[in-house]
Amino acid sequence: MQFAAQVVALAAFYALVAAGFVLIYRSSHILNLAHGELMMLGAYLVFVMAPWWAEFLWGGILLALLSCFLLGYVLYFLLMRPLIGQPIIAAVMVTIAASSILRGLASLIWSPQQRYLGVTLGIRNVPHDVLPGVSLSTYDIATIVTSVVYVGGILLFLKFSRLGIRMRAAAENPLLASQRGINIYAIFALAWSIAIVGAAAAGVLYGGNSRIDPEMGIIGIKALVVPLVGGMDSMWGVIPGALLVALAEFLVSKYIDPGLSEIIPMVIMLLVLIARPWGLFGTKEQIERV
């Protein structure tokens, strides 16, 4: 049971990050390779803003998440919208450049030194008995709750809200959606903003559970395996994809070698891309292999 609880906690973290990949890809068919660095940026923003609200801890966190939400609009209209009509690879290369810039700025502003967000927030990461014989840390529990709320909220938003239905329509057929009066640019920007908020929340939780530094964005590449397994255009696929990747990582760490657990997501990614590049629940598309 303890092993299963740890798998669920890691899967929840991966799902929280991976949902942003899927949301951006579904809306604009762009693979945002700067997602991990945006997660890192969210953690640093909380590190800076939390001390401003010494008597109201959530004030700094909410302000940082709001800043990330607005950043989504800025990034889309500044970097992505000018590339409409250009090859998709151009947009992907821009996200790679953005990730390098964010990583460099973080090193320049905060230095490569590791910092501990849990100390800044003043929230102790202590174990809690959630079931008989099963304990999880404070940040693990917070990660599970946040992931359920975030991923579940996106699923409900896309299915039942008018804005979510418009987002699905814009993703399905942007030209037809725009002809029906939907502002597809605002819809795409909203998708980026929601995705970045989720990444920032994941960065805060990871920083509280572990540490933050300019290189923590590499976790985004590991989390990218989750939508590749579940399907890049399937939000439901995030859940089994995250569980499979987390389970494989823990099994390798426990029964083979803890060092290999860091590369097992990459191995899974290679196997999926070779055998089933559209994922378990994604839409089967024509894949051009070179």
Query: Would you state the pLDDT for residue 120?
Result: 83
CB 117 within 8 Å of CB 46: yes
> Strand locations in the chain, DSSP E?
127-131, 134-137
Position 179 scores a pLDDT of 83
pLDDT at 182: 87
Between the two ends of the chain, the Cα-to-Cα distance in Å is: 45
- pLDDT at residue number 14: 95
pLDDT attached to residue 54: 65
What are the backbone angles phi and psi of residue 32, rounded to the nearest 5°? -85, 95
How many angstroms separate the CA atoms of 144 and 246, rounded? 13
User: How confident is the model at residue 221, as a pLDDT?
Assistant: 87
Residues of the chain with pLDDT under 50: 286-290
Rg (CA), the chain: 19
Q: What does pTM read for this prediction?
A: 0.91
Q: Domains in the chain, ordered, with CATH?
A: 2-275 (1.10.3470)
| pLDDT confidence of residue 153 | 95
Burial letters for 189-209: b for 16+ Cβ neighbours within 10 Å, e otherwise? bbbbbbbbbbbbbbbbbbbbb
Question: Which pair of tokens denotes residue 169?
Answer: 């329509």
| pLDDT value of residue 227 | 92
